[in-house]
Chain A
Amino acid sequence: DGGITQSPKYLFRKEGQNVTLSCEQNLNHDAMYWYRQDPGQGLRLIYYSQIVNDFQKGDIAEGYSVSREKKESFPLTVTSAQKNPTAFYLCASRNTQGSYSNQPQHFGDGTRLSIL
Chain B
Amino acid sequence: SQQGEEDPQALSIQEGENATMNCSYKTSINNLQWYRQNSGRGLVHLILIRSNEREKHSGRLRVTLDTSKKSSSLLITASRAADTASYFCALNGLNRDDKIIFGKGTRLHILP
| A residues adjacent to B (C-beta < 8 A) | 4, 6, 31, 35, 40-43, 45, 48, 50, 56, 58, 88, 90, 92, 94, 96, 100-102, 104-110, 112
Contact = CB atoms under 8 A, between A and B. Distances in A.
Chain A contact residues, majority secondary structure: strand
B18 to A, nearest CB: 24
Given A101-B31, A102-B48, A104-B48, A42 B104 contact: yes
B32 to A, nearest CB: 11
Q: Chain B contact residues (Cβ within 8 angstroms of A): what range? A: 20 to 34
A106 B45 contact: yes
A37 to B, nearest CB: 9
Nearest to A58: B99
Contact of B42 (A40, A42, A90, A100): A90
A104 B45 contact: yes
Most chain B CB inside 10 Å of its own CB: which residue of A40, A43, A108: A43
Interface string B96-111: 1111101111000000
Given A48-B98, A58-B99, A41 B104 contact: yes
Nearest to A56: B97
Contacts of A90: 42-43
B70 interface: no
Given A45-B99, A102-B48, 4 more contacts: A43-B43, A90-B42, A101-B30, A112-B40
Contact of A110 (B30, B40, B45, B99): B40
Nearest to A41: B104
Contacts of B31: 101-102
Contacts of A107: 42-44
Contacts of B54: none
A109 B103 contact: no
